[in-house]
Amino acid sequence: MEYRTLGRTGLKVSPLCLGAMMFGSFGNTDHDDSIRIIHAALDAGINFVDTADVYSFGESEEIVGKALAQTKRHRVVLATKVHGQMGQDPNAQGNSRRWIMAACDNSLRRLGVDYIDLYQIHRPSPETDIDETLGALTDLVRAGKIRYFGSSTFPAHEVVEAQWVAERRARERFVTEQPPYSVLVRAIEKDVLPTCQKYGMGVLSWSPLAGGWLSGAFGPGKENTSRRATFLPHHYDMEVPGNRAKLEAVIQLNELADAAGLSLIELALGFVLEHPGVTSPIIGPRTMEHLHSQLPALELRLSPDVLDRIDAIVPPGTDLNDTDVGWVPAAIADASLRRRPR
């Protein structure tokens, strides 16, 4: 396996990152089985593991911690995230110094480790000064609790702002970005990926299988069995025009994968792996079968002809369903911000 350099950090990471969102109450509730999946991924050469405090409200981090306790810590580049609501306290969320400091200690405890390799801000927080966030993260680096930090699902202009603030205020900077990216969700090709390349940021992209749409489970006569459909139903509602467009694309992509002698999963992962701005797409298996279906992508290269045919099905820079992007800025979500006061 050819390991990739994570941005300009010098860290070598596997072409696939193991995501732990499906370990715990969100997905696989069997801790021992989840740990076996983690170990199988490590044995296959994956050395990059990503989780978040909000995944199953801390349970995912606890499972990852149990798995790490049974292997050598230095084998794993460990990433987790902060931002989501963790309890009833209104201050137990967001990107403030107060919460980042407390949340980091909580994650270290749940993971059972002395340091986190990559600590990520899970979503932007418009009400929080980015300098406040960068200052807290810089202090965590200097305290030895984290080695690097990154952003997740930040729009391109906020990635740029964070880089400028870090330079002007003498802060450590975001070294990675974690955006959504798949054959069906391609808008970041227009701005986020070129911006990350410009600033030398590593990219660990999430949902390369588009929330299960590219897993082979969707198509005529197939029943949607995705766990995500229970808590993100709008991503699968066929009354939504964008979802109908996704289904039409999936049918064509299935035909393309068959003609190329690949599974749809391999086609989908191979597509994301091919972009020079992407370091490691994040896979999120819930079962051992899921993991084994995705591991072949570690050694996969798609031909230019196959990539051209994908572009013909879903044009570059296109999101087939705009709600699949993971975060909508307040200027779009709140109509009052687009109207003058009366």
Whole-prediction pTM: 0.95
Gyration radius of the chain over CA positions: 19
Over the stretch 206-227, which tens digit does the pLDDT of each residue have?
Answer: 999 999 999 998 877 776 666 6
> What is residue 319's DSSP assignment?
B
Q: Which residue has the tokens 């975001």?
A: 174
Confidence at residue 329, expressed as pLDDT on a 0 to 100 scale:
85
Phi then psi for residue 78, to 5 deg, are -100, 125
The three-point CA angle 132-106-286 to 5° equals: 110
Over the stretch 10-59, which tens digit does the pLDDT of each residue have?
Answer: 999 999 999 999 999 999 999 999 999 999 999 999 999 999 999 999 99
Instruction: Measure the CA–CA gap between 112 and 103, rounded to whole angstroms.
Output: 14
Phi then psi for residue 28, to 5 deg, are -90, 110
151-165 burial, b if ≥16 CB within 10 A, otherwise e? bbbbbbebbeebbeb
205-217 burial, b if ≥16 CB within 10 A, otherwise e? bbbbbbbbbbbbe
Confidence at residue 32, expressed as pLDDT on a 0 to 100 scale:
98
Confidence at residue 233, expressed as pLDDT on a 0 to 100 scale:
76
Cα–Cα distances in angstroms (integers) from residue 218 to residues 210, 250, 340, in the given order: 11, 7, 44
The two tokens of residue 71 are 């292997």
Given 55, 148, 181, 236, which residue is catalytic?
55
Residue 55 appears among annotated catalytic residues? yes
Confidence at residue 237, expressed as pLDDT on a 0 to 100 scale:
84
Confidence at residue 220, expressed as pLDDT on a 0 to 100 scale:
72
Instruction: Measure the CA–CA gap between 96 and 102, rounded to whole angstroms.
Output: 10
CB 227 within 8 A of CB 27: yes
pLDDT in tens, the chain (342 residues): 899 999 999 999 999 999 999 999 999 999 999 999 999 999 999 999 999 999 999 999 999 999 999 999 999 999 999 999 999 999 999 999 999 999 999 999 999 999 999 999 999 999 999 999 999 999 999 999 999 999 999 999 999 999 999 999 999 999 999 999 999 999 999 999 999 999 999 999 999 999 999 999 887 777 666 666 666 777 788 889 999 999 999 999 999 999 999 999 999 999 999 999 999 999 999 999 999 999 999 999 999 999 999 999 999 999 999 889 888 888 888 888 889 988
The two tokens of residue 42 are 């490590």
